[in-house]
Structure 1
Amino acid sequence: MKKPMQNPAGHAAVLRIMLFMSMILLLGLASSANQPPSDAVLVGNETCADCHSEVSESFHKTMHGLAYGADRSDWSMTCESCHGPGSAHVEEADPELIINPAKTDQFGDAQTCVNCHKSESLDGWEFSHHNSADVNCSGCHSIHTEKEQIVKKATPELCYDCHSEVRAASFMPSHHPIAEGKIDCQDCHNPHGGSLSLTSEDTGRELCFSCHAEKEGPFVYEHAPVNEDCMGCHTPHGSVIDNLLIQAEPGLCLNCHAMHFHATVEGVEGEFTPPLAPDRTSISTSDAWKRGMLTKCTQCHTEIHGTDMPSQSISTGGTALTR
């Protein structure tokens, strides 16, 4: 008996269609849950308080309650401002028939909040790293709290719940004084938007110079990488190397200056091969290293961020950044 011909491509197409339809069904079920039906109507705070008395009694002490005068009978902000019309929820006693921001996805949760919170600080939320990582408002904020900033924890502990690698970096030998309480995550980061790294300034340079203004210049003799990005040499959260460097000297400098030829000084001799001039030796030669020619570039090039003073006794003049 002849076997029917198999069609792998056809089977794959059928499976793709079934998978697609399943996703649509699941999305439909998800969207119908945690939402009032379209015909639900408002019932008022007094009705909510019949079951949720504890929340109702304390709500006037919260930032939301104080901001909207919720201790008055004519509450301008009600439970249903965030939770939606509650008639079906009250009649059926079904928690799926009312909006619970903590159970919605990041889009539904954020939409509930931005209905009122339309400030410029949220302008970048839609395309922010937090939003793309499925972080929702209630992941960080506790809506019914009496705390001024309505956050679940104080920073940096709140941030460390997700960013454990930053917590570890903050205890490295060289670090910004976050653990010491001298700066805070939000001094550099805007959790509601901004760049991919959620920094509060458009570029890393601008952010760093807001504290390290003495490194900005302008200088007569500049170090080109400083005008590009501080992160080329530094890591912001912590390092085992002094000054938050990403790599120890001289290796860090040799990433750009691998073919740099250093002037020979008295007592230090180095190998050289043509076309090097007789008075020059490569800092990357083994002979130069063995003779202690270089352990740290900044032993001589002290003004590595830039200077207004010309270097002396050096053929390159002020660009050597030695003073």
Structure 2
Amino acid sequence: MDFRYLGNSGLKISEITYGNWLTHGSQVENDTATQCVRAALDAGISTFDTADAYANTAAETVLGEALKGERRESLEIFTKVYWPTGPKGKNDTGLSRKHVMESINGSLQRLQTDYVDLYQAHRYDTETPLEETMQAFADIVRQGKALYIGVSEWTADQIRAGVELSRELGFQLVSNQPQYSMLWRVIEGEVVPTSKELGVSQIVWSPIAQGVLTGKYKPGEQPPAGSRATDEKGGADMISRFMRDDVLTGVQLLQPVADELGLSMAQLAVAWVLQNENVASAIIGASRPEQVSENVKASGVTIPAELMAKVDDALGAVVERDPARTAENAPAQRPV
């Protein structure tokens, strides 16, 4: 496992992060989830990402149990705040001072730790003054409940405003967590250049495009039984944007590139996002331990320029690059 610095900080994280969105506490049983975490640790992964909203707090509880007994100083534990949790009352959502301060306490209890290494704003809250949110984060850092602060799916302008306030308040905003893959490159035009300038890293989610980049979905064919495209708990909705024949046809053309590198299609997809120097880590999930063991083989891979070009040629016009999609995919008002 290779390690990278997170933003303009001294914190090193594993370039593969284990995440438990859509799995722990919902899609897989707790014992299987624990086996996946053990597989991640065995593979050298030290960085774990979750959120209070995943399975309405259950995912944090499962991760806390799975990591119990591990040397805390050897781990980097990340979580997030924003989406509705608990009974989803009027203040159980957003980035108000009240919700942020109460949420960090709940997360720490569920994760069975005194602090998280990174606390992230899961989305931008249009209904709370940014100054209020950033002051709450500053206080959490000073209380020792979080070491660093990050955001998720913020636009370039929002990241710039957040970094400016964090510097005024004396803490570090070091990361952004966006969707990024061969098929979804909307951060490349604005978010990445701004982040480079400001010393902010990307911790990217869905590098395999919810499984589409494994090549298991074939154009003109029904999705395999039990796959994410057939999951009615949310997986099918998330993957639907990629389930077009033109996208699936382009993905099939990536197999020769993977073969030339001696990688599986999934490993190629993870290795591809790690070629971006602004990416500190790629988040992988798993419903089986062997998926973890396979995907970590993307760590340390260098893809030559000519093969990167072949990826672009294969996917052509099906790649989404519009920077406006970041803002379009964020809530216009606080969810309830």
Q: Name the TM-score, length of structure 1 as normaliser.
A: 0.24
In terms of fraction of residues, the more strand-rich structure is 2
Greater C-alpha radius of gyration: 1
| Structure ranking higher on relative contact order (CA contacts 8 Å, 6+ apart) | 2
In terms of fraction of residues, the more helix-rich structure is 2
